[in-house]
Amino acid sequence: MQNIVDFIKKTFNTTEFISLHEPRFIGNEKKYLNESIDSTFVSSVGKFVDEFEKKIAEFTGAKYAVATTNGTSALHISLLLAGVERDDEVITQPLTFIATCNAISYTGATSVFVDVDLDTMGLSPKSLKEFLSENCEIVDERCKNKISGKTIKACVPMHTFGHPCRIDEIKEICDAWHIALVEDAAESLGSYYKERHTGTFGLLGAISFNGNKIITSGGGGCIITNDETLAKKAKHITTTAKIPHRWEYSHDMIGYNYRLPNINAALLVAQLEQLEVFLQNKRVLADEYREFFKNQHVEFATEPDDSRSNYWLNAIILKDRGQRDEFLEISNNNGVMTRPIWTLMNRLEMFKESLCGDLTNATYLEDRVVNIPSSVRV
């Protein structure tokens, strides 16, 4: 285990503490921040918000983008726009960051967990199909869960650590079962499946720009979609559902104060200018890790077939929980930040009563996966 720590220190060319994933501000960030400040438009209206939405849509290939305060709010609004209501159910994966399930809970719906694939660490189409076939039926063009009697309104796969899941197969299954597909693309900006950007397969996709993501505004998120009506509604309800008027305050529905401030968007516009450089830099790091771990008898998580991953967070898969814990102890004691993959959502107190399919793969990965330093090296 110590030789892995030594290699990471050598790779990052430092004897100092090595973080898991640091932001890099090497472009026009300060210039654009000053422009935002000088304009006095620092809240949710300003040129940088508009520019960012235009540029992120162009980058992902989506027709529309709506900037939000964070990825969780983007996913929350996406679920509402997909028609998820109180007492509905939403299928997702147990191996995910808690924001996925929190957003589902904000709608009043309940999470249902199905297994992941070992190679993608994302929701398994095979497990999804088996769960639906065994437990559900279509009634009046709705997917009814025969166990709970509730409607399964949506499915939220997550592209884990930036590695795309088999999203085309998942979409085909969802379409057949009248389930809305909403992609949690929080971690996968710059990742492609069959040459198509993640987040653009579903009805809507949610992306995060948290401080540990490839590009960041400290927080921030966005909704991407190809549906003009949904995009307009997303912008409306994230802006407190205020009816446009020069001076009157009138609102026509329950809305949310979820719009990204212009001062944060200024950071993101500058960060987008560096995104291709960041992605290439991270791919070089992943290549170095892959070559090293070939000789260590340790599995390194690589992009799945038909995919191009952003390699947001690099991960290794150790032989068991004991070896995992040993490595976490040694690395963190030696100034190299590492962390285990998330505790499965169905083990958490808030979601322990949720329905689950067979979770063999998710349990296997929970015991073995560790993230290792993945920052852009400049």
What pLDDT does residue 274 have?
Answer: 98
Where do we find the tokens 């960012």?
52
243-260 pLDDT, tens digit per residue, is: 999 899 999 999 999 999
Query: Is 313 domain-assigned?
Result: yes
**Structural domain that includes position 362:** 2-24+275-344+356-372
Q: Which residues contact 34 (CB under 8 A, 6 or more apart)?
A: none
CA distance linking residue 84 with residue 282, whole number of Å: 36
253 and 364 share a domain? no
203-244 pLDDT, tens digit per residue, is: 999 999 999 999 999 999 999 999 999 999 999 999 999 999
Q: Is the pLDDT of residue 44 over 90?
A: no
Query: Is 104 domain-assigned?
Result: yes
227 and 282 share a domain? no
CA distance linking residue 136 with residue 293, whole number of Å: 43
What pLDDT does residue 297 have?
Answer: 87
13 and 56 share a domain? no
189 and 45 share a domain? yes
Please give the C-alpha separations between residue 165 and each of 113, 239, 300, in angstroms, as whole numbers.
16, 32, 17
144 and 227 share a domain? yes
Q: Which of 221, 249, 273 is the last residue of a domain?
A: 273
36 and 110 share a domain? yes
255 and 175 share a domain? yes
What pLDDT does residue 170 have?
Answer: 98
344-377 pLDDT, tens digit per residue, is: 999 999 999 999 999 999 999 999 999 999 999 9
308 and 210 share a domain? no
Q: Which of 120, 200, 125, 193 is nearest to 155 (CA)?
A: 125
192 and 85 share a domain? yes
What pLDDT does residue 329 have?
Answer: 97
Which strands, in side-by-side order, build the sheet including 307-308?
196-197, 192-193, 307-308
Q: Is the pLDDT of residue 342 over 90?
A: yes
Query: Is 15 domain-assigned?
Result: yes
Q: Which of 273, 299, 317 is the last residue of a domain?
A: 273
What pLDDT does residue 378 have?
Answer: 85
What pLDDT does residue 295 have?
Answer: 87
CA distance linking residue 64 with residue 106, whole number of Å: 24
Give CA torsion, residues 90, 91, 97, 99, to 10 deg: -10
* CATH number where 310 lies: 3.90.1150.10
Q: What is the mean pLDDT of the chain?
A: 97
Q: Where would I find the beta strands (DSSP E) of 124-227?
A: 136-139, 142-145, 152-156, 180-184, 192-193, 196-197, 204-208, 221-225
Assigned token pair, 126: 């095979």
Assigned token pair, 343: 């505790």
145 and 267 share a domain? yes
* CATH number where 195 lies: 3.40.640.10
Q: Where would I find the beta strands (DSSP E) of 10-88?
A: 64-68
Please give the C-alpha separations between residue 342 and each of 85, 101, 314, 367, 369, in angstroms, as whole numbers.
27, 13, 14, 10, 9
CA distance linking residue 157 with residue 188, whole number of Å: 12
297-331 pLDDT, tens digit per residue, is: 899 999 999 999 999 999 999 999 999 999 999 99
What pLDDT does residue 86 have?
Answer: 97
Query: Is 350 domain-assigned?
Result: no
What is the tally of structural domains in the chain?
2
Assigned token pair, 67: 């900037």
126-145 pLDDT, tens digit per residue, is: 999 999 999 999 999 999 99
Query: Is 44 domain-assigned?
Result: yes
264 and 340 share a domain? no
Q: Is the pLDDT of residue 1 over 90?
A: no
Where do we find the tokens 């015991």?
367
264-304 pLDDT, tens digit per residue, is: 999 999 999 999 999 999 999 999 999 999 988 899 999 99
367 and 226 share a domain? no
Q: Which of 212, 242, 273 is the last residue of a domain?
A: 273
Q: How far is CA 369 from the centre of its chain?
A: 18
Query: Is 349 domain-assigned?
Result: no
